[in-house]
Structure 1
Amino acid sequence: GNMKDKKSVDALILAFDIKRGDPRESAAYIDALGVSGDPRAVAPLATAWDYLRSMILQMGELPGHLQVVRWKILEALSRIGGDQAVRILSEALNESDLRVVEEAVRGLGRLQVRNSVPALQQLASGATGNLLQAIIEALGDIGDKRAVSTLEQAISNPDKYIEVQVSYALAKLGRKEALERLNGFLKGDPGEDKVGLLAAYYLVKLDKTSGLEHLEAMMK
């Protein structure tokens, strides 16, 4: 299958043209290149990223369907990895489009890029909502002890979902009390906040049977 895969990626790379293609078609090619995991796909994705950046400089703002293409490029790069992908994801943390920043954060978490921890910590100080959730989850996935101070500040967040995510990230860093807190969220489920399901998901990510048992019980 390997030779066949190589040929199909070659065909995708040849067919993918951000300048000429219909945005929906481009998005489909980008997804396929990301799924391929082939390092050769990084160069055409990087070229497309640069092209869209130059369009922003000319137009000020991209139409919605092209904004989606930018998120997709970051997601695809994070599935392939490598130095160039990490560089683009790291630079994208400085973008003004928060959805792009969020995708970059998720990508750096997925690739467990330890060098991105200080930038993620800085970003966390002003972040809220989805972006803050993404940062906390990324810090958990990266699992670097430097993140503890940022996570401990976020634990007092009134948003229960964020509290669950912080507990996951701290548990990943070996904090026993955070693991107990996650298990505690299962007890009152579903409850008003409906966070038990999320807590169970993170417990499964931490290889804890309590999470799996909780999910199985809910499905009965």
Structure 2
Amino acid sequence: MTRPRWALRVLGLALLAACAAPRPKAAQAEYDAWVARLDPAVPDAAAAASACRALGRSGRPEAVEPLLKVWDALLERKFHRFGLPPELEAVRAAAAEALGLLGDIKAVPVLRRGLLDEDRTVSARSAEALALLGDAGSAPALARLAEGQDEGLAQTALEALGAVGGAGAEEALRKALDGPRPFLAVTAAYGLGLRSSVVGRLRLEGWLEESAEPTREGILAAHYLAKLGVPSGVPFLAKLAKDGPPDLRLLAVDALGKTGRAEAVEPLAPAAADKEPSTRVLAALALGRLPGKKAETALRALAVDPDPGVAKAAGAALSERGAR
């Protein structure tokens, strides 16, 4: 059985939704350069994946067509060669994510096919994209994924079910809520919360109230509560990020960033000032996911950190949010 990916990359719909918010259109020269990197004859997979991500955030609706083209070309190559190397599967995953961010329903058939892909990352990114597109028709396939043995992918599917609704979505979420796998139960509660279910929110709050000691499930529940806008989520994570056990402290820092909420900035201050560069890098990554001027100010301070790894992470986060 695949180990649960409770470290909260699982889906990040709130973060992706923030990325999908309207942005200024990229310049034509930039757009043309990104499209040129998608040429299947060019064997630079890393550049192609980066170009897909850039196109997803380009603010240019016409980017859908080259993304669909590269998807089709790689899928044809996969069939003819009985598989693709991991670096080319990564291009397909990046294309799926970008198609979701662009918000064009023309991508729905491709993404529904992506849900069934044997590459787990392609499948997960397709689920994320369909959730952003609000494709209720994908609910039956998502429900099947939610019952699979890969718990990370099942979590992704449950989050997406909460976002899209559709036939059988609530039934699948309630089944996972009462099932034997704790991380899936927490995620199902969040999915129900997205569907405005009081039961989902109450179950998430119950994980916090009933835990005698902090747990990974509790961190996940607090993260989801924060994403739902419930006040108890961020304070729970803030306390752990400040003085929790070392392993849970780092998870809480990561979770604060992935809430996507401005009130999570201040609780990240201890991590941003930590003596360990690796913790400061994690703080920079977390701050990069949060909105507002306070997050940007904190990132600017980390961008001149004496440790080059910290400075690089903060600089990349500033660049991603368009800060100069």
**TM-score w.r.t. structure 2 length?**
0.62
- Matched with 1:80 is 102
Moved more, 202-211 or 88-97: 88-97
Whether the 8 Å CA contact 1:45–1:73 is kept in 2: the answer is yes
- Matched with 1:50 is 72
- Matched with 2:208 is 186
Whether the 8 Å CA contact 1:121–1:150 is kept in 2: the answer is yes
1:210 aligns with 2:232: yes
After superposition, the Cα gap between the structure-2 partners of 1:133 and 1:102, relative to the gap in structure 1 and judged at 3 Å, is same
After superposition, the Cα gap between the structure-2 partners of 1:145 and 1:49, relative to the gap in structure 1 and judged at 3 Å, is closer
Moved more, 76-85 or 11-20: 11-20
- Matched with 1:17 is 39
- Matched with 2:134 is 112
| Mapped partners of 1:190, 1:160: distance in 2 | 16
Structure 1 residue 161: deviation in Å? Answer: 1.3
Structure 1 residue 146: deviation in Å? Answer: 4.0
Moved more, 156-165 or 120-129: 120-129
Structure 1 residue 142: deviation in Å? Answer: 2.1
- Matched with 2:119 is 97
Whether the 8 Å CA contact 1:188–1:196 is kept in 2: the answer is no
After superposition, the Cα gap between the structure-2 partners of 1:25 and 1:11, relative to the gap in structure 1 and judged at 3 Å, is closer
**How do 1:20-31 and structure 2 match up within 5 A?**
20-31=42-53
| Mapped partners of 1:147, 1:134: distance in 2 | 13
- Matched with 1:168 is 190
Bigger helix fraction: 1
Moved more, 87-96 or 187-196: 187-196
CA-to-aligned-CA distance 1:32-79 (integer Å, 9 cap, x gap): 111213211111111111111111111101112111111111111111
| Mapped partners of 2:207, 2:217: distance in 1 | 7
- Matched with 1:130 is 152
| Mapped partners of 2:107, 2:67: distance in 1 | 9
- SS of the residue corresponding to residue 139 of structure 1 reads helix
Letter in 1 for 2:162: G
- Taking only the aligned residue pairs, the percentage that are identical comes to 33
Runs of 4+ in structure 1 over 6 Å off = none
| Mapped partners of 1:14, 1:64: distance in 2 | 21
Structure 1 residue 133: deviation in Å? Answer: 0.5
- SS of the residue corresponding to residue 134 of structure 2 reads coil
Letter in 1 for 2:172: T
Whether the 8 Å CA contact 1:27–1:69 is kept in 2: the answer is yes
Unaligned 5+ residue runs, structure 1? none
CA-to-aligned-CA distance 1:99-132 (integer Å, 9 cap, x gap): 3222211211122222222332243344541111
Whether the 8 Å CA contact 2:74–2:92 is kept in 1: the answer is yes
Structure 1 residue 6: deviation in Å? Answer: 4.1
1:147 aligns with 2:160: no
CA-to-aligned-CA distance 1:119-163 (integer Å, 9 cap, x gap): 322433445411110110101122457411111111133222111
Aligned residues: 220
